[in-house]
Amino acid sequence: MKKTGKLILSTVVVVIAAVSVVSAASAQSKYDSVVSQSIPSISSNFLSLQNQNAQLLESQIVEMQQRSQQIAQLNDRLRETTQQGDTVAIQSIQRQIDVLQNSQQMEMILMGSLTNEYDVATDMMLNFTRSMHDAYESIIRNLR
């Protein structure tokens, strides 16, 4: 009887040890699966966000360059009109230049705010990634 009890007890201990090893290995594989699935999706989302912001900034730069060209053309017309002495045309061209310059200044302010938003989003994403990484490391340490 005593040998049977010891045999059962040792079998139970071995089974418990095996279950804990298997569950730790299973948890590690689940962790690896979660990490491999979530990190690429987070990085792909972040890359997509970066691409969208880059395209938006690029389109605004193109618009600003077009406005600068229009202002340069109007300045040339203003110079020619000034030589001719047409006061009404000078005032009209000057108003057009002012409108374009005001629009360009507003675009610069908007571009600055978009750049700031992009920086904030980047910082938030990096902080989130770091905290997620720290949480995963903590889970792994607790499993060991």
Mean pLDDT in the chain? 74
Percent of the chain exceeding pLDDT 90 equals: 15
Cα three-residue angle 65-70-76, rounded to 5 degrees? 130
Instruction: Give 51-65 pLDDT, tens digit per residue.
Output: 887 788 888 888 888
CA distance 113 to 41: 27
Q: At what angle do helices 2-84 and 87-143 cross, to 10 degrees?
A: 170
* Higher pLDDT pick, 105 / 1: 105
Instruction: Give 82-134 pLDDT, tens digit per residue.
Output: 888 888 888 999 999 999 999 889 888 888 887 887 788 778 878 888 888 88
Cβ neighbors of 4 (< 8 A, separation 6 or more) are none
Give the pLDDT mean for 75-79: 92
Residue 139 scores a pLDDT above 80 = yes
Domain parsing of the chain, residue ranges: 42-143
pTM: 0.54
Instruction: Give 18-72 pLDDT, tens digit per residue.
Output: 444 444 444 444 445 544 555 557 667 777 777 887 788 888 888 888 999 999 9
